Amino acid sequence: MAEQQPMRVAIVGLGTVGSGVVKILLEQAERIQRRTNRKIEVVSVIVRNPTKTRSISIADDLIDTSLDMIEDPDIDVVCELIGGTTTAGDVVRQAVQAGKHVVTANKALLCEQGDELFKLAREHNRAICFEAAVAGGVPIIEAVSESLSGNQITSIEAILNGTSNYILTEMLERNASYEDAVAMAQKKGYAEADPSMDVDGTDAAQKLTILTQLAFGTKVDPKQFLRQGIDKLDLTDLQYADELGYRIKLLAVARLDSGSLEMHTQPTLIHKHQPMAEVYDAYNMIELEGDAVGRTWFSGMGAGQMPTASAVVSDLIDLAVGRAQLSFPLLDLWQAQKPLPVLPAEEIERRYYLRFRVKEEPGVMAALTTILGENGISINSCIQHETDPKSPPSTVPLVIMTHECTEGQMRAADAALSECPKILKPFLRLPIRD
């Protein structure tokens, strides 16, 4: 087979992921060429600050500072790796309009502007590849959009944020405080200096909306469903869950329920016998259920430089051999169709974990059970330990596991519990996945 002309790539952004992509392309050029019968050449790396110290050495003649390089007619593919939605959106539009294919790892951009950008790409007969936008090195985009396309996906349950999963692992296995676990995640490069989008659930919610779009053909704004992060958890919550036979994971869920989509991203108690409970460190896991294939599991590193860079390079290889150009126009990605309604949060039915700090005085349990009972919530089990010396005096910890009830019932109970003088604020409520 005759060797093809090199595929020439411009990389916009040389941060953590961009550096990893350049590292693979430069160090593994021979291997990639052998597998594609085509060279992939980095011809431009566009950065804001060319003098910044970086973890990888790049020839000076490859460094550019102007986005005008995107329109160079010799460039075939643009990798958008700067993050955010404003400049990144402009980069993708400029590249597509200039006749370039695009590879991106930007889940926030796709979540916000995916329909517009994909429409634009189709109009210009270009492809947008985004395997790295969800679950790091796990090839979940290809699995949902291609490998399982003979199925109607009926359920997605996933750990989609490796940073949060690493923090929870550190807390439980090393008895680390939340603050210390975050600091360790930052030291290892799993968390940004400002980790808020990881720990408040935003990142996982954005990734869930992308998978929902692919699996169910419905664009959902993260504001339309429950989102709760791990930033309000205490080490004692993980220890109580362990005592009860559970692990706490930041679980993203989208499933069909009588023609509606039940969606939420929350720290969730998962029974230890479930595969999802055994996912540790910065690993992700996605459980997909299809009407033909049944349940399938995909797992791998969901955070860090090289796993994400691996996914970016896999998209470049798909473009180099021509797979992406063939499949992109045919895939049901952000196509206009009748959306499924999102199930109102109040109608979601689950069991719940409740953790309180209550006054050490008679009548506390009676007050709690009365409030729960008045809202149709029954108690499955209860744990009350002796007073912790570090806790406020004359108070005791109390953990309650409920029977199944609706989110609406729990919200009504929350309001009454907040007014109860025997309960200290704040208290914590988490869903349970049995």
207 catalytically annotated? yes
Residue 14 to residue 20: CA distance in whole angstroms: 9
Q: For 20-88, where are the E strands, in sequence order?
A: 40-46, 63-64, 77-80
DSSP class of 225: S
What phi and psi, each to the nearest 5 degrees, are found at residue 13? 105, 125
Handedness of CA 223, 225, 230, 235 (dihedral sign): positive
DSSP class of 132: G
Which is the catalytic residue, given 23, 100, 107, 207? 207
**Residue 89, CA distances (Å) to 3, 61, 121, 218 in order:** 34, 26, 13, 21
CA dihedral 242, 349, 198, 118 (to 10 degrees): 140
Residue 313 to residue 24: CA distance in whole angstroms: 8
Query: Which tokens is 122 given?
Result: 């189709």
Residue 212 to residue 264: CA distance in whole angstroms: 12
Task: Write the Ramachandran bin of 161: left for phi over 0, alpha for psi from -120 to 50, otherwise beta.
Answer: beta
Residue 142 to residue 351: CA distance in whole angstroms: 34
Handedness of CA 240, 246, 247, 248 (dihedral sign): negative
Consecutive H or E run containing 141: helix 140-142
Q: β-pairing, 77-80 with 101-104?
A: parallel
Residue 140 to residue 322: CA distance in whole angstroms: 20
Cβ 92 vs Cβ 82: under 8 Å: no
In one letter, which amino acid is 32?
I
Consecutive H or E run containing 355: strand 349-359
Q: Tell me which residues are annotated as active site.
A: 207
